[in-house]
């Protein structure tokens, strides 16, 4: 099988597995970079001719790339993409061997999660106020801690709002299970204001967040908008995921247990939530099962 066909088969597999848009995009770019190197530098087109030496040469090349100046964490992510790619090819009998098995990851220091200060998330909120849709997106992320992909997939039917219940329905996707997340009054008010100006959509488009032309708003569009808001607010080295980090730490500080917050944000493992305990310097005065507004 040639590299191009192998790459297409891998991306189709990821889509069938319902991996997130951002994950598929990252894998696609990483494997394309590998494919370009193997094809142009190593002059190989057939995946069965690729050896561990070729892959290690690729790793060495990206490590020494002065133009891109990749961090070791990024290099490790690209290696993980490569390993997943060849594991898939070997498991589906598209290759006779898995040359990525012996390729090692570089060692690097893992930095603690970035958590926005009160001043920062208020500044982000203030910058977003001039755009009703963006403001609603920011408030939902701040007040619920859901993932950006989960927000992009929300439909009008996922809003469960009446006198007795106010929550978001988060459908299962990939390895993430279905769950519900409470909507507080701050997020609810933002949603109601947005629904009043939400554009008419095209047939079969029931996404909560849509473009001016009525198409579903994509993850990359949301990420770009928030990144611009961060820059306008003067908030440096922040990403969309830092809003989720901020929600988790805020709830832990206000007495929500690790187990409860893990269920709210959809962590599959308790260790994913426990890493945020490093930010809790004082024991909460009381335990809480309710989401405390930011």
Which tens digits make up the pLDDT trace of 135-180?
Answer: 999 999 999 999 999 999 999 999 998 877 899 999 988 778 999 9
The stretch 248-270 carries a mean pLDDT of 95
Q: Does 3-91 match 118-279 in CATH topology?
A: no
Query: What's the pLDDT score for residue 61?
Result: 94
Query: 152 in helix, strand or coil?
Result: helix
Q: How do the domains of the chain map onto residue ranges? A: 3-91, 118-279
Q: Are 139 and 209 in contact (CB under 8 A)?
A: no
Q: Which position has the token pair 């002059």?
A: 43
pLDDT of residue 134 exceeding 80, the answer is yes
Which H or E run includes 243?
Answer: helix 241-253
Query: What's the pLDDT score for residue 200?
Result: 87
pLDDT of residue 34 exceeding 80, the answer is yes
pLDDT band for position 64 (cuts 50, 70, 90): very high
Q: What is the pTM of this model?
A: 0.78
Q: Are 199 and 189 in contact (CB under 8 A)?
A: no
Query: 82 in helix, strand or coil?
Result: helix
Looking at the chain, the whole-number percentage of residues with pLDDT higher than 70 is 100
pLDDT band for position 51 (cuts 50, 70, 90): very high
Fold of 3-91: DNA polymerase; domain 1 (1.10.150)
- Find all residues with CB under 8 Å of 84, minimum gap 6, and list them: 27
pLDDT of residue 17 exceeding 90, the answer is no
Q: What is the DSSP-derived secondary structure letter of residue 103?
A: P
Query: What's the pLDDT score for residue 186?
Result: 95
Q: Does domain 118-279 have CATH number 1.10.10.10?
A: no
pLDDT band for position 272 (cuts 50, 70, 90): very high
The stretch 268-279 carries a mean pLDDT of 94
């Amino acid at each position: 099988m040639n590299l191009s066909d192998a790459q297409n088969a891998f991306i189709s597999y990821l889509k069938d597995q319902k991996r997130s848009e951002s994950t598929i995009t990252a894998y696609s770019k990483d494997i394309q970079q590998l494919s370009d190197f193997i094809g142009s530098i190593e002059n190989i087109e057939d995946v069965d001719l690729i050896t561990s030496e070729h892959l290690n040469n690729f790793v060495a090349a990206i490590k020494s790339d002065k133009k891109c100046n990749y961090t070791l964490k990024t290099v490790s992510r690209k290696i993980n993409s490569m390993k997943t790619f060849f594991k898939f090819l070997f498991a589906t009998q598209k290759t006779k061997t898995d040359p990525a098995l012996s390729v090692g990851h570089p060692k690097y220091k893992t930095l603690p999660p970035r958590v926005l200060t009160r001043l920062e998330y208020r500044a982000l909120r203030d910058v977003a106020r001039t755009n009703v849709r963006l403001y609603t997106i920011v408030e939902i992320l701040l007040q619920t801690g859901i993932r950006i992909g989960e927000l992009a997939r929300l439909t009008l039917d996922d809003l469960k709002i009446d006198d007795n219940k106010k929550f978001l329905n988060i459908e299962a996707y990939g390895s993430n299970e279905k769950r519900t997340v409470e909507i507080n009054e701050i997020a609810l008010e933002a949603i109601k204001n947005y629904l009043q100006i939400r554009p008419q959509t095209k047939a079969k488009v029931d996404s909560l967040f849509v473009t001016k032309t009525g198409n579903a708003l994509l993850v990359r569009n949301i990420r770009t908008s928030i990144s611009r808001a961060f820059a306008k607010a003067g908030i440096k080295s922040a990403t969309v995921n830092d809003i989720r980090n901020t929600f988790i730490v805020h709830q832990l500080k206000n007495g929500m247990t690790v187990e409860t917050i893990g269920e709210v944000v959809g962590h599959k493992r308790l260790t994913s939530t426990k890493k945020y305990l490093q930010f809790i310097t004082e024991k909460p005065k009381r335990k809480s099962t309710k989401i405390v507004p930011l």
